[in-house]
Amino acid sequence: MVKVRFAPSPTGFLHLGSARTALFNWLYARHAGGKFLLRVEDTDKTRSEKRFLDEILDDLKWMGLEWDDEPVFQSGRFDIYRKKAEGLLSEGKAFREGDAIIFTVGKSRQIEIDDIIHGKITFNTDEIKPQVMIKSDGSPAYNFCCVVDDAELGITHIIRGDDHLSNTPKQVLFYEALGLDLPKFAHIPLMMGQDGSKLSKRHGAVSVEEYRKEGFLPEALTNYLTLLGWNPGDDREILSREETIRLFALEDMSDVQAKFDTAKLKWINAEYIKALSAKELMPLVKKAFERSDCPFEAVPEEKALKIIDLYKVRVKTLSEFPALTECFFKDDYVIEEKGARKYLEVPDKVENVKIFAGKIREAKDFTAAELERLCRETAEEKGIKAGEIIHPTRMAVSGTTQGAGLFEMMEILGKEKVLERMDRE
């Protein structure tokens, strides 16, 4: 059975690059009908924090990357690592240096691995110094405890970033010294910023948590991360989780670095938002409003659903909803200064709004279709373009020059609220 693992260190939040590694491991396990295991590398007791671990686990669950079996914590396995190291020491394969136990590396030897993504890679042991297994403080060294754990967990494939490639020959030596079978290795090219440098905060948000708060959907984020290094063999960019699992293959992964493009991620996220119904989006949008000063509960659910349906095709992230729709939830919404000067401080345009308001006041129907008819009728009577009424009216009722269709907005706001705002300008 295929067994893979993701091994986060709880010394910080879940980085996008690490999330991508976890995703590829999870996809491979699900595609092969195997297991996706979690090993927590918390040997650094001074830097490891529970809050980081909780955040990492929560982010993985949010992304839909549920793991099989209980997580393994390295901090509770120090005795196992020491016993293994002392075994190699007694066999003459290691030596003591104070309280540390160090593995002896033979010289002038070629180590060759057949990487699933990169093909054959050769290393020379002349470039590898003696390897610490147990540090002088009693804690295990990274490469040694990883091998011990991966072997005991029965890991068949180690899928990780290219930044771990230099660790591979060192770990191969430990596998051999311990008499263990080698797993298969697949090193994923790193995810870079648009300028080709390592993805960092200067490129924008880099943790999964930041993207969650910004209003990205987990399905969109995982869809995009999957395409950074793999594709289904055609030009499709929107793929369901089920289809991705069915098609995914490590052998099809690219061996070149991928560039993270926030604009592309936003486009994919917008596509996922559009595909959801207003009812499905309701709890997500409501959560976005909790981080704003806009009272979502100020309107009935039926009206809120109409607002979401009207604007879901205009947002790229859920966090955009409050600012775009605040005029529906409160009267002290932000007024665009430039728009106000252009449309609400010009007598002729204000007069157009007043005339249109008079037509609306007399109308029996208050539907988008009827409002548009009245607007165009008013424009024709005055011998002006409909835009001369539409633009100042939009400013009057919403405080902005952009947004959804004016008449659809007015219908949702309701006749009383629309006339109140048109009359005060």
Positions marked catalytic: 201
Buried (b) or exposed (e) across 106-138, using 16+ Cβ within 10 A?
A: eeeeebebebbbbeeeebebeebeebbbbbeee
- Alpha-carbon distance of 240 to 193, in angstroms, equals 26
Bridge partners (DSSP) of residue 40 are 73
Contacts of 46-54 spanning 24+ positions with Cβ under 8 A:
47/11, 48/9, 48/10, 48/11, 48/75, 49/10, 49/11, 50/10, 52/10, 52/11, 52/12, 52/13, 53/8, 53/10
**Amino acid letter for position 104:** T
DSSP string, 346-411: -HHHHHHHHHHHHHHHH-S---HHHHHHHHHHHHHHHTS-THHHHHHHHHHHHSSS-SS-HHHHHH
Look up residue 188 and give its DSSP letter. E
Cβ atoms within 10 Å of 32's Cβ, excluding its own: 18
E strands present in 204-286: 258-259
Displacement of CA 97 from its chain's centroid (Å): 45
Q: Is residue 49 a contact partner of residue 11, using CB atoms and an 8 Å limit?
A: yes
Question: Would the CA dihedral through 13, 18, 24, 25 be positive or negative?
Answer: negative
Q: Is residue 41 a contact partner of residue 7, using CB atoms and an 8 Å limit?
A: yes
- CA proximity to 23, closest of 184, 250, 197: 250
